Homo-oligomer: A and B are copies of this chain.
């Protein structure tokens, strides 16, 4: 019963098979391998973006930080949610890669609203050169609370940003899960809504470690390349990144994995909803659940070896009825029996 994170499950076997197949003879290093040409073509086709620049890195933090550094001057500020991964979980990597830009936290929830974004942008740069200057907007989709921005929400945020001449980055560590939820095309969720640069995640959705950065406007492609190398994120044996991404995109594996993860999550949520006293902090719209249930249920789960984050409250405590929060993340690989067993243990 592993619900701790979608970065702890196995890679899909097709990914490792592809890496093994790629392990044949010599290949040009540093992204000049022929598989990368195919990956680039595939992403351009999937995103209906024939001019897009496409690069691979191995971690989501690298994708986000390099993308933001390419979009942001060091005297600017990035607008993002207070729970954004770039703010809470990257140990100042965005500040590092941008050369010291600031992050301005918009609103107090999982999602930024267009109105809150506008207020935050307005509040900056009222001080001439004294305050940070307005910089890119970064949207996390799926959000860090398991919710999903609608297409109109994204379009609304992009409209605000572009109204001030600011570019928009989308942190799509769980891009595929969001796409499944929305049922729209990759283009509709990104450049057609106004997004300029995407971190397109593979690692959390069945890969070993690969993320694509997609710049719909290739004008800054060279700068991105140089920042990638300077950041030590250019792989010499690049073919193994290419092979992962190729297999991920082939036969819609990326869509299937995400669909399975979301279905797993829906089954888990449904089961929990049916239990008296389980409450949900956020609507589980993709593959993550934030809910609360009594300590006694947590203790049963822990005794049975379930792994997940106790998100609020403290497992140590006397009152068996006290409600403690849980974060439950589903990936593609979780068996339905495990889900049902988890539900049973919560029910008690």
- List residues of A whose CB falls within 8 A of some B CB: 2, 4-5, 7-11, 13, 16, 19-20, 23-30, 57-62, 65-66, 73-77, 88-93, 95-103, 127-133, 203-204, 208-209, 223, 225-237, 240, 307
- CB pair A95–B101 under 8 Å, yes or no, is yes
Interfacial chain B residues near A65, Cβ < 8 Å: 232
Taken together as a complex, chains A and B put the C-alpha atoms of A228 and B307 apart, in Å, by 26
* Contacting pair B73 A223 (CB below 8 A): yes
Instruction: Please judge, given known A-B contacts A75-B230, A92-B74, A236-B209, whether A25 and B5 are in contact too, CB under 8 Å.
Output: no
CA–CA, A97 and B65, complex, Å: 14
Residues in B whose Cβ lies below 8 Å from that of A228: 129
What residues on B are CB-neighbors of A230 within 8 Å? 74-75, 90-93, 96, 100
A240 nearest CB neighbor, chain B only = B208
**Which residues of chain B are within 8 angstroms of A236 by Cβ–Cβ distance?**
5, 7-8, 59-60, 203-204, 209
Residues of chain B lying within 8 A (CB to CB) of residue A88 = 127, 130-131
CB neighbours (8 Å) of A95 from chain B are: 74, 95, 100-102
Known: A8-B27, A95-B102, A99-B100. A226 touches B133 (CB 8 A): yes
Q: Is B232 within 8 A of A231, CB to CB?
A: yes
Chain B: CB-nearest residue to A23: B10
Name the CB-closest residue of B to A101.
B92
Contacts of A232 in B (CB 8 A): 57, 59, 61-62, 65-66, 90, 93, 97, 231, 233
For the complex formed, measure the closest distance between the CB of A161 and the CB atoms of chain B, giving whole angstroms: 20
Please judge, given known A-B contacts A129-B225, A229-B129, whether A96 and B91 are in contact too, CB under 8 Å. no
